[in-house]
Amino acid sequence: MNNQFNAVQVVDATGLACPLPLLKLKLGLNQLASGEVIQLLATDAGSQRDVVSFAKLAGHRLVNQQQQDGVFSYWLAKA
């Protein structure tokens, strides 16, 4: 997965089960300024539901999401 959306931080949560990918994403977002993009890599299928719901609830913008070779990749712009 490349960094085509100019993420300033990449959170690698591959191999971790729910809720750890989402927790690592939240911790990463806390370090960013508004508008900056973070990329999350996860292998937990539940992350598809969790990340989309979290972004909506927290007001972050889901820039893109992809799946390749069992790895889910999400790019979020911090609110």
Active site residues: 18
Tokens of 58: 């927290």
Strand partners, 73: 41, 66
Residue 17 DSSP label:
P
The three-state secondary structure class of 50 is: helix
